[in-house]
Every structure is written in C-alpha cells, then in structure tokens.
Structure 1
C-alpha cells in the first residue's frame, strides 16, 4: 500500500485534500504574523503534517520507497501555504522547492520580534477600559493582547537537577498578579465591592478566577434589575386599582345623594 493511503503514516493524504484547501480563514498580508503562524500550526498538526515544516522529517533519498510519497505531501503543503498567503507574498515563495524552505523564509522575514511590536501591544492594553463595553468584551480584549505578548515574548524558564525553588512558577505567579491588577484597575465603578473583596484576599486569584467572580456579580445585578421593576409595576398597578375603586365608590355615592 502506498504511504499516502496509510492513515498511520505522516504521508497520509485524504481524498478531500487538495492544494487549494484553506488552512486559515484569513490569508496573511504581512501583519499579525504570530496569529497567522498559530493558525497554520493548528491546521498542519490536525493533518499530522507539522514535521514537513519544522525540520523533524528530512527529505528521503530519491531511491527511497518513501520519496514519491514525500514529494506528493511536500507539494500539497506548498499549495496550502500559498493559499494561506496574500498574492504578493505568495508570489515571492512560488518557486521555493520545499515546504520547509518556505517556512524558513517566512520566519526570517516576518517572525523576528521587535521592540516596536511589543510596544504597540502594551500601548493597546493601556487604551482598553471597561467604561463603554461589556465585562466579557473587556476581558476578551485584554486576554487577546496578553496572549499575543506571550507568544512573541514568552517568559524564560529555569530548570536544574534536583531544583526545589520553583522559580518558573514564581515568575508566572508574579506576572499573573500584575495582569490581575491591570484588569481590576480599569473596571467601572459598578464592580467596586467585588474588586475590594478580591484585593483583600490573602492569595490573589488567577485572572480567569477573578473574571468568574465579577461575572457572577454582574449576573446577580441583572437579575435584581429584572425583579425590582416588576415588583414596582405590580405595586403601582394595585395602587391604581385601589384608587379607581375609591373613585367609583365616591361617584356612586354622589349619584345616590342627587337622587335623594
């Protein structure tokens, strides 16, 4: 059986696979490379083809039985990458022979992290606030930017033999606490009580945990707003009904006196 027909092989190709298939919804146009790269990784991993671009699968010898299958997969992935790029960028890699070389070229051109990129993301965070948007949108905007920063500039990790200092976890906790402060700092006054409660906790919660606490408070307030007007309306209705009954009785008495 040919390797491209073996589901357990990295060379396996489905009948639906074709060079024009889209791995990403939006072709790369030169900006937001980190997000585009992440989408490509997800698509190729799902198809078990990451080894063709990360260098872990070398090109077989031309006399090797796998060479023909490798050529088919390589051409297929090149087609996917071309489809995932805007025409001007796609034209610049059209004559590159391997998917691996295409990936190296894209990384060299667009994958270098600059201080300007980090600056732009930090500036974007400084401009986000919860004044005119929902709690969910506010949290999502901040998390999106922080995820981009983590992807561009991940925290350093420290490992050594028999180490018990847990330095990496401590650095991560410090980062989480700082982001929590930023998240709470830019919230509207409606959540002042919950914010105070969170800040008084001996061990600060993670950002997702704090978000859930605030979300519960928001839902509680929404329920209160729904219940309170209903009760007030019912009270007003009963009051009006009583007033109408008093008016009707008064009018009836007046007519009775007139008849007498």
Structure 2
C-alpha cells in the first residue's frame, strides 16, 4: 500500500483529465479507477484496504488511548484521497459528497447517483439507435440488437 508521503495529490490530479457530469460517469470512473489502481490506492475506495487499529493494545493495560502511527498515516491517506476525488467533481456532483468523511463513502455516493444515470442514458441511446430512421426507412431489429 502506498503511504501518504508517496501520494502527491498535485501529481495525481494532473493525470485526471475528466470532471464528472451526468453524461460521462463511465469515462470518469474508469480514468480514476485506472489511476488509483496503478498506485495501489483504489482499495481505499472499494473497501479492500481496511483501516488499522486506532489505539495501541498492550498486554498489561489492554486498549490504551495512544493512537497508533499506522492509523494516523491511514487517516492522512484517506483525507488526501478524498481531496483528490473532490477536485474531480463539478459543482453539481459536489453536493453528493458533502459531509462524507472518507474517499470510500464519497465514492459510493457518486456510484449510487451516477451509475443509475449512466444506465438510463445507455438504455435511452440504445432505444434511439434502434428506432432511428433514414429517409423514411425504419432501421430496426435486423441491424441492431
């Protein structure tokens, strides 16, 4: 897993060229997924990278109030990733992540919102394509399935 010291938000941000909108969720998510997967960071979005324990556990004392360094590092990483994600959002998309505390939570909100819009748009375009007419001839059935 990449540490937050190796995450250079400016460097990653320059690689994201698409800002999310109603019409491009698939392109945007593919670009972001590819970038983050390449740096072994997408696990923070899909939940496969789980947070370390927050507090130290000592044999004689049990759970202490001492926050573990690995947890602090994890928090810096997810905060940096949330910031990266936010910078790729349009004003309209930003409303779906306001109040989220982790990149995963923000990602899931965006997927819930935009994946259904993308599916509906794809179905609409398929219907338009299947019922397209050229010079009064209905182009349907045999050409497009």
Instruction: State the shift of 1:116 in Å.
Output: 5.0
Going from structure 1 to structure 2, the CA distance change for 1:15 and 1:24 (only over 3 Å counts) comes to: closer
| Greater strand share, structure number | 2
| Greater helix share, structure number | 1
Where structure 2 has 5 or more consecutive residues not aligned to the other structure, the ranges are 56-67, 133-141
TM-score (norm 2): 0.68
Question: Number of aligned pairs?
Answer: 123
- Paired residue for 1:50, among 29, 38, 42? 42
Going from structure 1 to structure 2, the CA distance change for 1:60 and 1:111 (only over 3 Å counts) comes to: same
- Paired residue for 1:110, among 114, 122, 136? 114
Q: Which is higher, the Rg of structure 1 or of structure 2?
A: 1
Q: Deviations over 1:2-21 (max 9, x none)?
A: xxxxxxx3325437434982
Match of 1:11?
3
Contact (CA 8 Å) 2:96, 2:106: kept in 1 or not?
no
**In 1, Cα distance between the equivalents of 2:11 and 2:128?**
39
Instruction: State the shift of 1:100 in Å.
Output: 0.6
Comparing both chains, which one has the higher relative contact order based on Cα–Cα distances under 8 Å and sequence gaps of 6 or more?
A: 2
Contact (CA 8 Å) 2:96, 2:109: kept in 1 or not?
no
**In 2, Cα distance between the equivalents of 1:15 and 1:100?**
17
Q: Deviations over 1:35-67 (max 9, x none)?
A: 211111111112210100011011222224311
Contact (CA 8 Å) 1:28, 1:84: kept in 2 or not?
yes
**Per the alignment, in what secondary structure is the counterpart of residue 42 of structure 1?**
helix
In the TM superposition, 1:36-115 aligns within 5 A as: 36-63=28-55, 64-112=68-116, 114-115=119-120
Match of 1:120?
125
Where structure 1 has 5 or more consecutive residues not aligned to the other structure, the ranges are 1-8, 128-180, 184-260
Contact (CA 8 Å) 1:10, 1:48: kept in 2 or not?
yes
What is the CA RMSD across the aligned residues, in angstroms?
A: 3.0
Contact (CA 8 Å) 1:19, 1:79: kept in 2 or not?
no
Instruction: State the shift of 1:75 in Å.
Output: 0.9
Going from structure 1 to structure 2, the CA distance change for 1:15 and 1:105 (only over 3 Å counts) comes to: closer
Q: Deviations over 1:47-97 (max 9, x none)?
A: 210100011011222224311111111011111111111023224413210
**In 2, Cα distance between the equivalents of 1:75 and 1:118?**
36
Going from structure 1 to structure 2, the CA distance change for 1:125 and 1:91 (only over 3 Å counts) comes to: same
Q: Deviations over 1:182-239 (max 9, x none)?
A: 59xxxxxxxxxxxxxxxxxxxxxxxxxxxxxxxxxxxxxxxxxxxxxxxxxxxxxxxx
